[in-house]
Amino acid sequence: MQFPVSDRVETKGLVYFARMLDKIRLRAAGELPSDYFVGGVEEDPTLFDARCTRFLAVDYDELATRTLQGGSNDDVLEWCFEHGRRPSEEETRIWNAFLTKRGWRDEASADLQAAKERNGWANRDDIQTWMDLHDAEEGRK
């Protein structure tokens, strides 16, 4: 099994997109741990994959198909811009700020705390956001 890249990796200035594509590729290769959320559009619209595809106005399954056809993350993001929408620089900054701070003093804080407790990390003050949690779970600092 292999972990996807950090949520913090940017593609053309957009955080998280690279992780979503990495999860698609790893899942198709049978290398993504089975407990990872992918897609999430129907199951839970608050999952990062679901939010990202809505932000770009593309269908997750179509994006997965395009991703597995090959090409770089930049190529796939350009496909999203052509088949969905191209966010403005300001929208991208807002998206990045939202995702990088998700779980910190917002309505997702209680869920983040519960996830920390499940991992035995209830008192880890260095984990303040979902991105922090993902990095901790995957052994990144």
Q: Is the pLDDT of residue 141 over 80?
A: no
- 58/80 Cα distance (integer angstroms): 6
| CA neighbor of 4 nearest in space, from 40, 31, 44 | 31
Q: Is the pLDDT of residue 53 over 70?
A: yes
pLDDT at residue 35, rounded to an integer: 82
pLDDT, one tens digit per residue, over 95-108 is: 999 999 999 999 99
Contact 39, 48 (CB under 8 A): no
Question: Which amino acid appears at position 141 of this protein?
Answer: K
% of the chain with per-residue pLDDT over 90: 88
- 94/97 Cα distance (integer angstroms): 5
pLDDT at residue 85, rounded to an integer: 97
Instruction: Please give the model's pTM, rounded to 2 decimal places.
Output: 0.92
- Tokens coding 10: 């940017």
CA-CA distances (angstroms) from residue 104 to 46, 73, 79, 137?
Answer: 15, 28, 32, 17
For the chain, what are the domain ranges? 1-88, 102-141
